[in-house]
Amino acid sequence: MTYLSSVLMGILQGVAEFLPISSSGHLALFQRFFAVENYEETQMFFTVLLHLGTLISVFVYYWQDIWDMIREFFAFLGDLFGGRGRGRRSVAGPVPPARRLILLIVVGTLPLFAILPVKDLVEEAMGNAAFVSVALIATGFILFFSDRMARGRKDARNATMVDALLVGCAQALGTLPGISRSGSTISAGMLRGFDRTFAVRFSFLMSLPAVLGANILTLVDVIKEGAIDTSMLPVYLVGTAVAGVVGYFAIHLVNLLTNKGKFGAFAYYCWIMGAVSLVANFVVK
């Protein structure tokens, strides 16, 4: 792998991770049609680093929300184990939004455990360009109908645990290469009546434990297989940094387009990309 291909894959990851066009699907197609060297090793270890880059961009963009949740987590522990009285929040009082957001994210993450038994099958699908192409076309339909949903008003104050669980099911579906995680979760949130800004915010904050957990599992597999080439680390880190920077601006763009009701416009891109790659898969040997 060269620095140029590392930068290109970093840009691709940064854009596709947050725009609803499936980063895993695009990386799989890029590796398939551009014949990236060390395919198996690149697919696993470099993909972990690329996701780390975009994970950092979520931390930076939503730092205030994350900080509020950290404070509320420790405040909850203080309420739970603190002495009676003295500054303790009444259990009968309303739950702070940041604390409810933690609970919503935890519930939304639960469906991912159902993917663990079939994790190997999901990883194998990365190498199937035809599957990825069809999944991209399916993503297009998800996005096309998302903007036709009524504008909701739910946020962290009144979204239910059932809402979070169903959005989490959409996130589990988004583990398939070609199915956009952000597209499916944001669309599911809007379907459940989320305010559009909150649908985006919840989707990206919910990605933190999901992406981190998936990367840890993949990294363990990589270490077991001894598939880390330390001599390529400088090349990999360049792509990781590019993914983080591009990802930050991609998050801003998704928020802008969703609020303007233009989220479904990505459907046409997914349809075209899916159709072209599906045809190319049978032409390119």
pLDDT of residue 159: 94
Structure tokens at 94: 């309303």
Report the amino acid identity of residue 34: F
Give, for 27, the enclosing helix (H) or strand (E): helix 23-33
pLDDT of residue 83: 53
- The domain spans of the chain are 3-86+96-283
Phi-psi region of 135 (alpha: psi -120 to 50; beta: other; left: phi over 0): alpha
Residue closest to 101 by CA, chosen among 76, 128, 138, 136: 76
Block mean pLDDT (10 aa), the chain, length 285: 87 88 78 59 73 93 95 86 53 76 95 87 82 92 83 91 96 90 92 92 93 82 73 88 95 89 86 90 73
- Contact criterion met (CB below 8 Å) for 268 and 143: no
pLDDT of residue 86: 45
pLDDT of residue 88: 47
pLDDT of residue 151: 80
